[in-house]
Amino acid sequence: MATCGEVLVKFLEGYGVDHVFGIPGVHTVELYRGLAGSSIRHITPRHEQGAGFMADGYARTRGKPGVCFIITGPGMTNITTAMGQAYADSIPMLVISSVQSRDQLGGGRGKLHELPNQAALVSGVAAFSQTLMSAADLPQVLARAFAVFDSARPRPVHIEIPLDVLVEPADHLLPARAIRSARAGAAPGPVAAMAQRLANARRPLILAGGGALAAGAPLAQLAEHLQAPVALTINAKGLLPASHPLQIGSTQSLVATRELVEEADVVLAIGTELAETDYDVTFKGGFKIPGSLLRIDIDPDQTVRNYLPELALVADAQLAAQALLEALRLLPAPPCDEGWGAARALRLRKALAAGWDQPTLSQTRLLTSILQRLPNAILVGDSTQPVYTGNLTLDMQAPRRWFNASTGYGTLGYALPAAMGAWLGSAEQPSERAPAVCLIGDGGMQFTLPELASAVEAKVPLIVLLWNNQGYEEIKKYMVNRSIEPVGVDIHTPDFIGVARALGADAEQVGDVMHLQAALGRAVQRQGPTLIQVDQNAWHAVVTG
């Protein structure tokens, strides 16, 4: 007899799930009954928040949902922060949890791990949360979850299974069958109207976000046809390669880039929220789009949020970009102004490069040194100074290789477990996986430091690049700039080298580019994690000379 928990694992295999992140507990053991004999690898974090961050990083590199098995009650309250980050960044995540038996739901009887309403708690950070009231409903609820991942704006989905449903006989549901859906194509009418507007543009510009990650090829061709500079959000870095002449980076919050946007007579925004942390990291406002705004998004609501468009199209970014390109090729060539296109993009890049201060250049040197030694590395960042800098100064050659928690939800401690998940998701075979580098500060590191032990256990060759400035320096500066006496930001800094070694990782301190690159070379040869500590003041002193 196969139980609901066992059949669930079969269904997950049918949907292509190859990793599950979770911590077994008395309420979830029935999920594990079928896991041991399956093809799915289980990764055990040291905290459910870590499970969620691992699933997030896995999803960003693999392009399909990360899956978590989570215990009732405290497990779900622990993972909600990770779900919030994934929700903010439109990352697919399937969180499967246990919950009290059906006759105990909402009973308030002091049961183990009891919450008054677990689904309600989670619903604010999920596309939906559903309680499986019968094993017979399992195929439908999983199909609903994967319909969100496949064809809607991807966000976390929560499925909770009562303890008595987990053990229900479910043989009749086998063999498991996956039900998949396709993304929405582009309606011909809006495509034709947008194409006509773009064909008449003299100074077109494209703003592309993380929702367009699959649209790189048609988007590049569209930009080239229009001679339109392309600004990318942080989650879209690499959508156009760093070397592309129309690529103008992720600097929409800076004056020079804003001036270029204001010069544009038609702006195409595709797969982007046009939200604060990509377009106004100074939090002072001032980003304007005076030209005609055209918006394309898979989410109907998003086409009219923040900035109202003249034309909107609800469609998959890749299909829409391809349809626009085909429509434009049937029209006369756009009458692009002299000095626009690649020439204007080059002027902007030069102006930005001339304005970076010494700390910015020093931190950028740290990041470029990593890519010189590990050109295909995935850089996963926390909220820390080199990440803020890289968001502005660093461009990538391919997508899904730069993402971090300094935008959107903005949680601390994200980078360590997310980088672990990113490595696992970067390819099916370990030998083909790209190096994963966690960029994290000493403050954020203390949020999820125990996950180093998870990486040791799972033999993940994670590289943790720790930027140590002995506290929450960015917040300290923010307090000083607002005439607030700093409180709570000068925190105790542990011996990270000693702690990392105690957890089973390799660890060393580096002070310059040569030593950093040598340490990176050693780290990628190991079967477990390596912590490389960089002291902020020492690095600035050596690199800036």
- Residue ranges and CATH numbers for the domains of the chain are 4-173 (3.40.50.970), 188-353 (3.40.50.1220), 356-543 (3.40.50.970)
- Contact between 444 and 382 under an 8 Å Cβ cutoff? The reply is yes
Q: Where are the beta strands (DSSP E) in 382-517?
A: 402-404, 436-441, 463-468, 506-510
CA distance 227 to 232: 16
For residue 184, give the DSSP letter.
Answer: P
Beta strands 506-510 and 156-162 are unpaired
CA distance 469 to 477: 12
Please give the single-letter amino acid code of residue 1.
M
pLDDT at 415: 98
Phi, psi (degrees; rounded to nearest 5) at 475: -70, -35
For residue 40 the two structure tokens come to: 């799915």
Q: Which residues of 338-360 are buried (b: 16+ CB within 10 A; e: fewer)?
A: eebbeebbeebbeebeeeeeebb
CA distance 272 to 305: 10
pLDDT at 40: 97
Phi, psi (degrees; rounded to nearest 5) at 98: -90, 170
Say whether pTM exceeds 0.75: yes
- Contact between 162 and 31 under an 8 Å Cβ cutoff? The reply is no
CA distances to 60, 392, 400, 433, 486 from 280, rounded to whole Å, are 24, 12, 22, 34, 25
Q: Where are the beta strands (DSSP E) in 249-348?
A: 266-270, 292-297, 311-314
- CA 93, 99, 105 angle in degrees (round to 5)? 130
pLDDT at 545: 65
216-226 helix and 317-328 helix, angle to the nearest 10 degrees: 30
Q: Which helix H or strand E contains 165, and what residues bound it?
A: helix 163-166
What is the chain's pLDDT, residue by residue, as a tens digit (545 residues)? Answer: 899 999 999 999 999 999 999 999 989 999 999 898 899 999 999 999 999 999 999 999 999 999 999 999 999 999 999 999 999 999 999 999 999 888 887 778 878 788 889 999 999 999 999 999 999 999 999 999 999 999 999 999 999 999 999 999 998 998 778 899 988 899 999 999 999 999 999 999 999 999 999 999 999 999 999 999 999 999 999 999 999 999 999 999 999 999 999 999 999 999 999 998 888 876 778 899 999 999 999 999 999 999 999 999 999 999 999 999 999 999 998 899 999 999 999 999 999 999 999 999 999 999 999 999 999 999 999 999 999 999 999 999 999 999 999 988 999 999 999 999 999 999 999 889 999 999 999 999 999 999 999 999 999 999 999 999 988 888 888 889 889 999 988 889 999 999 999 999 999 999 999 999 999 999 999 999 999 999 999 888 888 76
CA distances to 121, 167, 208, 326, 351 from 130, rounded to whole Å, are 12, 18, 33, 41, 51
For residue 237, give the DSSP letter.
Answer: T
pLDDT at 175: 79
**Placement of tokens 């106004």 in the chain:** 280
CA distance 105 to 127: 22
CA distance 270 to 247: 15
Q: Which helix H or strand E contains 530, and what residues bound it?
A: strand 530-535
Kindly report the length of the chain.
Answer: 545
Phi, psi (degrees; rounded to nearest 5) at 245: -65, -15
